[in-house]
Amino acid sequence: MATIAFIGLGNMGNPMAANLVKAGHTVRGFDLVAENLETASQNSVIIAESGTGAVDGADVVITMLPAGAHVLAVYKDIVSAAKAGCLFIDSSTIDVASAREAHELATAQGMLTIDAPVSGGVGGASAGTLTFMAGGSDEAFARAEPILQPMAGRIVHCGTGGSGQAAKICNNMILGISMIGVGEAFVLAEKLGLSHQALFDVASTSSGQCWSINTYCPVPGPVPTSPANNDYKPGFAAALMLKDLRLAQEAAQKSGAVTPLGAEATQLYALFNALGHQDTDFSGIINFLRGNQPAD
């Protein structure tokens, strides 16, 4: 069993750290928010007084922070406090350039690193069924895999440093675009007098099938577990979808990829957020496409 420093004990970090404790690891946690430390302590995480305190003597460091700037600031603070050969795993969703810079900061000090963003949300973090998309050397991945296991349903090694973040934003760009496409199809069906169930029965078994309709259908009824049946409570909040779409656009601009539908989806989710729906599930965009508020 390992001693693991866990930095960033928010909505995702706290249940992830709890699963590492349950698996028998010693977990030392740090966060800036006292309430989050209190929750961690209730989950038998040992509370450290600082990031460097958490990292001192640890075998593994996991970060679960809001954005690239936070990850780089924390890495600059803690890397030199870690023991030689410590494994750094960053599971935050951040821009590819910052992920690569974080790899360089840690490897320059003799550490092993992977970027390992997740999908599966708070539910997956609690259940220990997250999908991890990992980027880093074979050696770092081999060491990270058993550490990630208690938090994971699936772990995919995507390539070298930054590849996990690349996979995450490509996947979520598909998701954002496909949810808008599915929403538009239901709105058109309504205008044509076609029932939600009829469109679902056809499209979910035909060439229109995709996760956004088959698993996460944005109208109530056909998929009883989708957020549409629960007043569009997240699930996956529109604010997080916008964050990921913006990261995809940033990466597209830097790499020269042409992503016109990704750009359009970013603008539509920006408008949806600007109208105050940042805490609505991202599938609630169907109501915006109808010209309604999600509660209508």
Which residues, including other chains, have CB under 8 Å from residue 170's CB and lie 6 or more apart? 248
Contacts 24+ apart (CB under 8 A), 224-232: 226/283, 227/281, 227/283, 227/284, 228/283, 228/284, 228/286, 231/294, 231/295, 232/280, 232/281, 232/283, 232/284, 232/287, 232/294
State the minimum distance, in angstroms, from the CB of residue 199 to ligand NAD: 28
Give 70 or 277: the residue with its C-beta nearer to ligand NAD.
70
Q: Per-residue contact track with ligand NAD, 225 to 264, x per CB under 6 A?
A: -----------x---x--x---------------------
Under the binding rule (CB under 6 A), the answer on residue 127 touching ligand NAD is no
- How far apart are CB 39 and ligand NAD at their closest, in Å? 10
Q: Which of 85, 100, 76 is nearest to 161 (CA)?
A: 100
Both structure tokens of 52:
């460097």
d(CA 271, CA 253): 21
Binding segment for ligand NAD (CB under 6 A), chosen from 2-10, 143-151, 169-177, 280-288, is 2-10
Question: Is residue 235 reached through a cis peptide bond, with omega within 30 degrees of 0 on the bond before it?
Answer: yes
Is 22 in the active site? no
155/120 Cα distance (integer angstroms): 12
Catalytic residue among 168, 191, 233, 254: 168
**Contact call for residue 12 and ligand NAD (CB under 6 A):** yes
Stretch that binds ligand NAD, among 8-16, 40-48, 174-182, 192-200 (CB under 6 A): 8-16
| 50 touching ligand NAD, by CB under 6 A | no
| Total Cβ atoms within 10 A of residue 80 | 11
Whichever of 87 and 245 has its CB closer to ligand NAD, that residue is 245
| Catalytic residue annotation | 168
What residue ranges bind ligand NAD (CB under 6 A)? 7-13, 30-33, 36, 51, 64-66, 70, 73-74, 92-93, 118-119, 121-122, 236, 240, 243
